[in-house]
Amino acid sequence: MVNSEFFLRYFGPWSIVGLIAFIAIFVAGIDYGYILWLRSKLPPGPFPLPVIGNTFMLPDIKPWIWFEHLSKEYNSPLITVWIGRNPTIWINDAWAASEIFDKRAGIYSSRPRMLVFAELGNGQANLVNMYTFTPEQHDRWRVHRKLMHQGVGIQAVRKFRDFQNNESRLVALDLLSTPEDYVKHFERYATSVVSIVGFGRRVASSEDPIITEVIAGMHLAADLNVPGKKFPMLMETFPFLAKFPTSIAPWKHGLGRKRGFGFFYALAAEAEEKPGHDESFVKFLFREKTSYDLRQDEISSLSGNLFGAGSDTSSSTLITFVLACCCFPETLIPAWEELDRVVGPGRSPQFDDDLPYVSAFVKEVFRWRSVAIIGGQPHAPTRDDYYKGWLIPKGTWIQGNVWAIHRNERDFPDPDRFSPKRYLHGDPDHRPFPGERGYMTFGWGRRVCPGQALAEQGTWITIARLLWGFNIQKKKRPDGSLIELDIFDYTNGLNMRPQPFECSITPRTEEIRTTIEREGKQALEELAQYDGESKYRFSTFYQQNEEAMKLYGNRK
């Protein structure tokens, strides 16, 4: 009290305000000086402004295109964009991504701080978002990663081939009757596969609410987490805005509720209690619960990640496949020739068929328009690292720009042209590429998508069957003219898919139609063991299932 009276008497209130302002400006100047000093050591990029960095330079939509442009402008495989006071590094080159994320995977297995997606989204304890900066964090992340690989890794997915094949047969059957609903058929198929894998229950109808609700939730998360200058991602620039209560902060868009936890745990617990299907992922998790001291939120996130991510990405890939067929019909002819020679009309393709062009076709689908267009969530080094003399500080947000990587003219000549032959040795457009797959759709290193093998396996058999069974082409108007399609007309979220479009999907021959019908009926009989229905719905769960929350929430 004495001190405040002294200052007010001898300096006056305006002097105090001026002193505070001077200190604030001085501190801000020191901070900005540090940012500029750090910038001199980082990969090149646009000049950051104080406090806001480059945030307001970000485009309103599809920032990955801007990152690609910056990479060309600065003639650099890595570029730095400042989100507020924090640098983010974007890798726009396949070889740089492989060198950093794959060859140095040991120090790039962590995540940075992600305020919107992690802290206000699905939590830092989720495998997708986990830190690995301390030994304890790294050990817990390894437990989650081990469980996912045991559930859906390369060695595990072969046992899923029978029902993946049968669900794929049903896609073909459904396309015979309602080809205009191809998006719904793909979403049902993808959701049903991961539901069988995860919970031992198939999804029989495209009208099942769990399809539309889960996929809508995935789209919302993908849309909300695009780097940009709008809310909610603007909170990454101004973190103090996240401190406001949600009730008076509309910019938080309902984030921070962790609402998926109870729902997916209830689904898991419901599946665990039902007899049979002991090979399902949730029953495996409950068997290992004591061994790994799994908490309820961990079981929820592990099963929820499988369900949410697998349904949206796989269906979006198949929609891109249809778009490619429509816009590049010349690529279908070699596929038909190969399939007619190896398979014939009396049966559909099987996993053990030798179909090199079809395999190249699938690879080109993954490359041409990858769903996870910026390679999933960002990595962060667990210690300072250097690449070509540039500093990559510990904890820095560093991410692969799959859009730029897959459109590099050096690796993929005429990259927007859909050309499966580029994956065949001897073709003039074939180029070396890091890794045996020839694409980087599923991420890198120890953070590669754990469901990659499951997705690749299912996508291969489904595309092979649809190429064998159907002529997929642009739709004709009543006057005979074709409805033109735009190969760049995609959604703006991090998991992108083509905007809705019309097309024509017809069986190639009557004999093939008969085979599709016969195999579809057989598939329904073989899949009957997975029939069932959950009593839970995401949209009503938290209003109508308080007792279930208490029941499952108290389980140990």
What is the H or E stretch that residue 208 is in?
none
pLDDT digits (tens, 9 = 90+) for 175-199: 999 999 999 999 999 999 999 999 9
* Domain annotation covers residue 473: yes
Measured from the Cβ of residue 527, the count of other Cβ atoms closer than 10 Å reads 19
| Secondary structure letter of residue 400 according to DSSP | E
Number of structural domains (the chain) is 1
* Domain annotation covers residue 342: yes
Q: What is the mean pLDDT of residues 536-553?
A: 57
Q: Which of 236-240, 411-415, 513-517 comes out lowest in average pLDDT?
A: 236-240
Phi, psi of 334 (to 5 degrees): -65, -30
Q: Are strands 397-400 and 470-474 parallel, antiparallel or unpaired?
A: unpaired
Q: Name which of 382, 363, 373, 339 is nearest 439 in CA terms.
A: 363
> Does residue 111 have a pLDDT over 90?
yes
Three-state SS for 453? helix
> Does residue 174 have a pLDDT over 80?
yes
> Does residue 87 have a pLDDT over 70?
yes
| pLDDT (0 to 100) of residue 554 | 46
Backbone torsion region of residue 60, taken as left when φ is above 0, otherwise alpha when ψ lies between -120 and 50, otherwise beta: alpha
* Domain annotation covers residue 33: no
Beta strands in 60-200 (DSSP E): 78-83, 86-91
* Domain annotation covers residue 97: no
What is the H or E stretch that residue 504 is in?
strand 503-507
Range of the domain at 302: 114-127+157-394+441-553
CATH of residue 492: 1.10.630.10
* Domain annotation covers residue 281: yes
Please state, in angstroms and rounded to a whole number, the distance separating the CA atoms of residues 362 and 438.
11
Question: Please, which pLDDT band fits residue 221 given cuts at 50, 70 and 90?
Answer: confident
Q: Name which of 416, 402, 408, 415 is nearest 494 in CA terms.
A: 402
Question: Please, which pLDDT band fits residue 430 given cuts at 50, 70 and 90?
Answer: very high
Q: What is the mean pLDDT of residues 353-382?
A: 96
Instruction: Write the burial class of residue 349 (CB in 10 Å: 0-12 exposed, 13-18 middle, 19+ buried).
Output: buried
Please state, in angstroms and rounded to a whole number, the distance separating the CA atoms of residues 109 and 11.
55
| Token digits of residue 66 | 């801007």
Residue found by looking up tokens 């998926």 in the block = 260
Average pLDDT, the chain: 90
* Domain annotation covers residue 386: yes
Please state, in angstroms and rounded to a whole number, the distance separating the CA atoms of residues 238 and 230.
11
The more confident residue out of 298 and 217 is: 298
Q: What is the mean pLDDT of residues 473-499?
A: 95
Question: Rounded to whole angstroms, what are the CA distances from 321 to 326, 364, 374?
Answer: 9, 9, 19
* Domain annotation covers residue 44: no
Amino acid at 13: P
| Secondary structure letter of residue 446 according to DSSP | G
| Token digits of residue 492 | 């703006």
* Domain annotation covers residue 434: no
503 is in an annotated binding site: no
